[in-house]
Amino acid sequence: MTPQDITKLIVRVSIKDRAAFDLLYRQTNAKLFGVCLRVLNDRAEAEEALQEVFVKIWTKADRFAVSELSPISWLVAIARNHAIDRIRVRRKPAVDIDTALDVADPAPGPEAMAVAGGEAGEINRCLEELEADRSAAVRGAYLKGESYAELAERHGVPLNTMRTWLRRSLMKLRECLEQ
Amino acid sequence: MSAVDENGPEHGGDDIVAAEYVLGVLPAEERQAVARRVESEPGFARLVERWEADLSPLAAGYAEVQAPAAVKDKLDRLLFSGAGDTSAANSVSTGGILSSLAFWRGLSLAALAALALFVALPFVNPPADEPQMRLVASLAPQESDVHYFVVYDARTRDVGLSHVTGERAAGRDFELWVIDGQQAPVSLGIIPAGTNVHLAVDDATRGKIESGAVFAISLEPAGGSPTGQPTGPVVAAGDLKTI
């Protein structure tokens, strides 16, 4: 299914076309479930989150019209934001981080191109310009939805230091992306 | 660490706040504050969207995992139960609602029967230490084409309404009610025009909502019911389900 096909489905969902919604679900649930699982690291919670994500997609599909994101990026953004919202208000993190789920991170492959519409190289090139531990922090935060507190603990630095690090890294990324 | 003094230009200003939001690293309260800015400040929302686009190739790192079929089944019940979920009628205890609604002018028996279909599924009380509870209801048409989707967020005490179909007649307003068993309906106010709108919830109403009350929308004179109780026909109704 091409990005154009997914765009058409989202537009049809925005006018409450249930058949389009069913098809959109079939085509995208695996990717969005992958997002929820990775961030929440708990299967039951990820299933709940996925439901909520598709409720949002059903009710907010009209907003896609004013977004400049590619359709998959728009859907992933909804899923990521929702999963991160959930994990931020969750009281304690899942105990067995990274062992609860046997889900490997695939290496960025051809799909990266599809997701980014041809600009996949930019962010990866710019991340490579950062020091290794800083770019790892950015990638980890993005994929796992780690908070400043969790990053600080994992990297063994105070919270404020972590925040300063990451902010500097983000500013460098912005400079690099604008070149 | 305060968001205010940390966000000056020397720290990258709004663009870096947008990046932190997209990355997801902010603690819950700050994240919610930034999310509100995304909703209310178009310029800031553009910064957020640019970061979403710039970082989106990283999403290739997410493995695809097919969700279990039960998820879609539940989703369909949640979103589309208004379209004839007859199994719900069996688990219903509607006496209280029926009697408290009986005086609603213009509410036909057929509409009441339809309303009864929505009083479904035993309400599951989440543990008291989970203030992040969210509830949804599909307020399905009752002899009308008015359909709203409601999301109640216990944490922010906010009722969000997404307009699906149905327009209010000229000079009339839609009013949202919370009905808790046999008690008189409590108004949450006039539903503002718009696709996605929000209503605040006070403490008393909050308790009703969280203990499993039913939502209904009535058609009222402009400005809302003059009596404090519904005076016009119920055009949409539905019960809450946890999500």
- DSSP string for residues in A42-71: -HHHHHHHHHHHHHHHHHHGGGGGG--S-H
CA angle A148, A151, A153 (to 5 degrees): 110
Nearest to B57 among A50, A116, A167 (CB): A116
Distance (Å, whole) CA A72 – CA B148: 26
Is A1-92 CATH 1.10.1740.10?
yes
The answer, yes or no, to whether residue B112 has pLDDT greater than 60, is no
| Kind plus residue range of the DSSP H or E element containing B146 | none
CATH code reported for the domain at B69-242: 2.60.40
Higher pLDDT, B145 or A76: A76
Alpha helices in chain A, H assignment, sequence order: 3-14, 18-40, 43-60, 71-89, 110-116, 120-128, 132-144, 148-155, 159-178
pLDDT in tens, B173-214: 899 998 887 778 889 999 988 878 888 888 888 888 887 778
| Chain A / chain B CB contacts < 8 angstroms | 188
Please name the residue of chain B whose CA is at the shortest distance from the CA of residue A177: B54
Q: Which residues of B touch A112 (CB under 8 A)?
A: 57, 60
Q: Which residues of B touch A45 (CB under 8 A)?
A: none
Distance (Å, whole) CA B182 – CA B93: 12
When scoring B22, B48, B62, B129 by the number of chain A Cβ atoms within 10 A, the one with the most, hence best to mutate, is B62
CB B54 within 8 A of CB A177: yes
Alpha-carbon distance A134 to nearest alpha carbon in chain B (angstroms): 13
CA angle B46, A146, A87 (to 5 degrees): 90
* Percentage of chain A modeled with pLDDT above 70: 83
Alpha helices in chain B, H assignment, sequence order: 3-6, 13-23, 28-40, 42-55, 69-80, 95-101, 109-118, 203-210
Where are the domains positioned within chain A?
A: 1-92, 119-179
Q: What residues 66-95 of chain A have any CB closer than 8 A to a CB of chain B?
A: 67-70, 72-73, 76-77, 80-81, 84-86, 88-91
Alpha-carbon distance A2 to nearest alpha carbon in chain B (angstroms): 16
pLDDT in tens, chain A (179 residues): 888 889 989 988 988 889 999 999 999 999 999 999 999 999 999 999 999 999 999 998 988 877 888 999 999 999 999 999 999 987 555 444 444 444 455 554 444 444 444 456 799 999 999 999 999 999 999 999 999 999 999 889 999 999 999 999 999 999 999 98
Interface membership of A58 toward B (CB under 8 Å): yes
Q: At what angle do helices A18-40 and A71-89 cross, to 10 degrees?
A: 50
As a residue count, chain B comes to 243
pLDDT in tens, B26-66: 999 999 999 999 999 999 999 999 999 999 999 999 999 99
The CATH architecture assigned to A119-179 reads Orthogonal Bundle (1.10)
In the chain, the amino acid numbered B100 is S
Sign, CA torsion B17/A63/B148/B139: negative
Where are the domains positioned within chain B?
A: 3-61, 69-242
Alpha-carbon distance B87 to nearest alpha carbon in chain A (angstroms): 21
Nearest to B79 among A55, A91, A148 (CB): A55
